[in-house]
Amino acid sequence: MSYIGSKPADAVLETDDITDGIITTSKLADNSVTTAKTSYSDIPHRNIIINGDMSIAQRGTSATGLGNGDTGYHTIDRYRFAEAGSPTFEFTQSQDTDVPSGQGFATSLKMDCTTAQGSLSASDVFFIEQRTEAQNLQYLKFGTSSATSLTLSFWVKSNKTGTYICLLYNIDPTRHISQSYTINSANTWEKKTLTFTGDTTGVINNDNGLGFITRWYLGAGTDYSSGTLQTSWGSENLTDQAVGQVNLADNTANNFWITGVQLEAGTTASDFEFLPHDVNLQRCQRYYWHFWSKDEAAANGAIMGTGIYTSGTTLYIVGQYVTQMRATPSLDQTSGTDYYRTVANDKLDDFVIQTDVANKTTNKGYQLYNNTDASGTTGNSSPVRCNNTDAYVAFDAEL
């Protein structure tokens, strides 16, 4: 217990002590209350998960045909769909407005089975996951005797009742732990809370690389489910990762929704930490940043910067990101006839924007150029804008 100033002589302890995120208080004889200090649950940004309310979707709100070969980020920021093996199923992933009533959420992530696969092959597996930067996890003290427990809470809904598996993966020492949860009632929002012990053996490196994975299995063949569920930290063993997991792909009537995801230090789930939209967006933009959305391109001409002609056929565009990115990003774009235009000149047909990673682009700013379709006068400058509703330019520094 901590006090402001000296401890009052007549302080009466109301609760036992501070235990992994539980707030304790003390009451004085005159019924006034001293300031109490909690270990975790009153700490801003305590949620390890980014975009837990599913509100940011820079890439778009729907992606169809997810199945064999579609591992990656498709809709809601920071949530990666992954599969392995040779599955024949297909899913549509979307940002949906179906949410638990009265909890403050406006959006959820939905997986909708559109092509069924009644029986998974041994090597087939699929899941959604969030990957966390290693340097954000040092306070967990993993790899020491003081390693902190973690509590994962989320709201989930599906018509497919039964056992589902969540896994935490400590990347650097290749160790994992799994917990099961049950969807009890079909098509009913249910809140799940899972507590995982801290990993006293596996150290998380202090760098900007991948440190941690939080994963929700949706289906797993026997290569991932034929062993004994590994409910304590241990070395990677695929057969022990998803034992008991139902197959969400076995019927086209199957859907899965999730929102309100929070992973925090301690053994108790605190109320979901809602962040302002701009703060949430900026956290996502560290890993992926769109210049504009497709709607903005159609409505506003979407100026992406000012280009400078260094020769009659080479146009450079330089700028800074809205926030420092995790690492030097790759360029993500669509291109085609009349996709981009310089304001001072004619259309740049099939204008492909290239990124000058070798020379100037870093995690703080970018240098883009085109030296195949540009046509102008050396030394002149011109704004460059989008000229097609299907065009976009983005930077990708995902884990």
Distance separating alpha carbons of residues 296 and 302, to the nearest angstrom: 6
CA 173 to mean position of chain CA atoms: 22
Prediction pTM value: 0.89
Distance separating alpha carbons of residues 378 and 380, to the nearest angstrom: 6
User: Per-residue pLDDT tens for 148-188?
Assistant: 999 999 999 999 999 999 999 999 999 999 999 999 999 99
The residue-averaged pLDDT of 20-42 equals: 50
Q: Give DSSP secondary structure letters for 168-190.
A: EEETTTTEEEEEEEEE-STT--E
Fold of 62-285: Jelly Rolls (2.60.120)
Residue whose C-alpha is closest to residue 271's, from 42, 27, 88, 107: 42
Element (H, E) at 110: strand 108-115
Residue 5 has a pLDDT of 41
Q: Would you give the DSSP letter of residue 102?
A: T
Residue 305 has a pLDDT of 83
The yes-or-no verdict on residue 343 having pLDDT over 80 is no
Residue whose C-alpha is closest to residue 242's, from 83, 49, 74, 130: 83
Residue 369 has a pLDDT of 87
The yes-or-no verdict on residue 67 having pLDDT over 70 is yes
What's the Cα-to-Cα distance from 115 to each of 23, 111, 170, 192, 256, rounded to whole Å?
48, 12, 33, 28, 15
**Higher pLDDT residue, 1 or 111?**
111
Q: How confident is the model at residue 14 (pLDDT cuts 50, 70, 90)?
A: very low
The residue-averaged pLDDT of 101-107 equals: 98
Residue 124 has a pLDDT of 98
Which residues touch 312 (CB under 8 Å, ≥6 apart)?
375, 376, 377, 378
Of the listed ranges 11-20, 38-47, 85-94, 306-315, the one predicted with least confidence? 11-20
**Higher pLDDT residue, 256 or 341?**
256
| Average pLDDT of the chain to the nearest whole number | 88
Residue whose C-alpha is closest to residue 150's, from 164, 162, 174, 132: 132
Q: How confident is the model at residue 353 (pLDDT cuts 50, 70, 90)?
A: confident
Dihedral angle sign, alpha carbons of residues 101, 102, 107, 109:
negative
Percent share of the chain, pLDDT over 90: 67
What are the start-end ranges of the E strands in 224-361?
Answer: 234-235, 255-265, 288-290, 303-311, 314-320, 330-333, 340-342, 347-348, 354-355
181-186: long-range pairs with CB below 8 Å, 24+: 181/156, 183/156, 183/157, 183/158, 185/161, 186/158, 186/159, 186/160, 186/161
Torsions phi, psi of 136, nearest 5?
A: -85, 0
The residue-averaged pLDDT of 211-237 equals: 98
User: Per-residue pLDDT tens for 304-329?
Assistant: 888 899 988 888 888 899 999 999 99
Residues 178 and 241 sit within 8 Å (Cβ to Cβ): yes
**Higher pLDDT residue, 299 or 54?**
54
Residues 204 and 138 sit within 8 Å (Cβ to Cβ): yes
Q: How confident is the model at residue 80 (pLDDT cuts 50, 70, 90)?
A: very high
Residue 39 has a pLDDT of 52
Residue whose C-alpha is closest to residue 376's, from 329, 327, 287, 308: 308
Q: Where are the chain's structural domains?
A: 1-39, 62-285, 289-396
User: Per-residue pLDDT tens for 225-277?
Assistant: 999 999 999 999 999 999 999 999 999 999 999 999 999 999 999 999 999 99
Distance separating alpha carbons of residues 350 and 336, to the nearest angstrom: 5
Task: Count CB neighbours of 38 within 10 A.
Answer: 17
User: Per-residue pLDDT tens for 122-138?
Assistant: 999 999 999 999 999 99
**Higher pLDDT residue, 160 or 36?**
160
Residues 113 and 251 sit within 8 Å (Cβ to Cβ): yes
The yes-or-no verdict on residue 385 having pLDDT over 90 is no
Q: How confident is the model at residue 358 (pLDDT cuts 50, 70, 90)?
A: confident
Which residues touch 250 (CB under 8 Å, ≥6 apart)?
116, 117, 118, 119
Residue 387 has a pLDDT of 78
